[in-house]
Amino acid sequence: MTESIGILTAGGDSPGLNAALRAVGKAAIGTYGMNLIGFRDGFRGLMENRTVRLDSGQLSGILTIGGTILGTSRDKPTKMPVGGKTLDMTDLMVDNYHKHHLDVLVCLGGGGTARNAYSLMQKGINVITLPKTIDNDVVCTDVTFGFDTALTIATESIDRLHSTAHSHHRIIVVEIMGHNTGWLALGAGVSGGADVILIPEIPYDTDIVAEAILQRFRKGAGFSIVAVSEGAMSTELFQRLQSAQQKLAKAENKKERKKLNEEVAAIEAERLRSTPILTQELEKRTRLESRVTILGHVQRGGVPSPADRLLATRLGTACVDFIREGRFGIMVAARGDGVEAVPLENVIGSRKNIPPDHPWLKTARNLGICLGDK
């Protein structure tokens, strides 16, 4: 029987999504004669039954295009905004899945997408996910597609900031994406020659960072580059957040939980504003002119790198092989030069943080880069 595949892209856009769509489509249609139906704008498109039949013509010429031709959204099947309310719409999605006589739903996304796909799997849908995110924080895979492109953009940005930092004898603080992990900031910081790298996995002491910069100044270095992950936080903020989260876990009544949830949300909001505050503190403590550059969404845009195109293509074609084998409820993970089918239950609920003994951290320390902790 000819298989029918549904496919969607969910979560934040990421370089390599179109390469993965193309790979799934070309392998499914050209090699096995399968049908491919795309759902627009992620899980919302599945709920609203907004589809496009993907054929060879529509998949042609998209390998090098950034973003996703299907569109995306962050809507969750179990918490979907509908008519001013937040509803569980999984049953409607299951109905639409069966209306199209689909054999499998392929979901391209990060950790959140894997959780959403798993919730649909529990309703009886066959699902397979492919790991994409510039944050590289999906567990059970060596790397996610989108990461290499973002790493290249962030590194090139640091390269460009060196000249203005040197010319004006400034501290340049550059904020790099990564959500709650430091893969992008650490990789770009080491590759771009940053003098300080601050990541979520290592809460930083502002005094230690300031002293490291002053030591460079005393040795004749008239500028410093500080690479900061957007999720990095000071030790003081980290301790406040940890304390509030511990109290929340022990809270026994609804009123207390609500208050503590609001406290955690306030601390998280403060965390998002911490880079400009850090920049001001460094200028105050070092008396050196300091400027902040927030790279933002530029890291997610543009042409995907050759490495991301290759990875997305490998995972996409392997996905079709797993479909032919009838293997569902899995994430197609990168493992060395090959792939591995990882059960979705092993993926959800976890995040791939940088371990304290990771070689990149050792490299940074051996280079004399300050990580804010000593």
75 is catalytic: no
Residue 282 near residue 204 (C-beta atoms within 8 A): no
Looking from the CA of 267 toward its CB, the CA atoms found within 13 Å total 20
Q: Which of 135, 137, 195, 308 is catalytic?
A: 135
What is the end-to-end Cα distance of the chain in Å, rounded?
62
**Measured distance CA(224)–CA(201) in Å, rounded:** 22
Tokens of 189: 């910081």
Handedness of CA 146, 147, 153, 154 (dihedral sign): positive
Residue 299's CB is within 10 A of a number of other CB atoms, namely 23
User: CA 7 to CA 46: how far, in whole Å?
Assistant: 9
Cα 189 to Cα 155: distance, rounded to the nearest angstrom? 7
The three-state DSSP-derived secondary structure of 116-127 is HHHHHHCCCCCE
Residue 157, both tokens: 């940005």
The closest of 192, 260, 196, 269 to 229, measured between CA atoms, is 196
How far is residue 24's CA from residue 8's CA, in Å, rounded to a whole number?
11
Max Cα–Cα distance, the chain, nearest Å: 73
Q: Mind telling me the catalytic residues?
A: 135
